[in-house]
Amino acid sequence: MKNCYSDLEKVLSHCGCTFNDVIVEKVSTTDMPKFLELVGYRAEIYKKKTIPTGSWIGVKELDIPEFLIEIECRRA
């Protein structure tokens, strides 16, 4: 999860944005129980008063089998 958010931060920065510009977040994970254990980390990422809307989806597998999580963000 930390690696995904680190990569997203670089992409957002490249576009002149921060996580404060994200309005929708979609998370796909192959291990929902583990994701739910770590979900509090999102509060460190999103510094604004409200965390963006979105969805969390449990999936059987992702494009790259060793990946456990995929995060898609949309900005304003």
Structure confidence by residue, pLDDT tens digits, 2-23 = 999 999 999 999 999 999 999 9
Mean pLDDT of all residues belonging to the chain: 92
pTM of the model: 0.84
List of residues 6+ apart from 71 with CB closer than 8 A? 4, 5, 8, 25, 26, 27, 28
CA dist., res. 39 & res. 60, Å (int):
19
CA dist., res. 43 & res. 47, Å (int):
7
pLDDT given at position 37: 94
Q: What is the pLDDT of residues 29-40, one digit of tens each?
A: 999 999 999 988
What is the number of other CB atoms lying within 10 angstroms of the CB of residue 26?
15
| Band of residue 48 on the pLDDT scale cut at 50, 70, 90 | confident
Return the DSSP state at 19. G
Of 56 and 44, the structure prediction assigns the larger pLDDT to: 56
CB 51 within 8 A of CB 42: yes
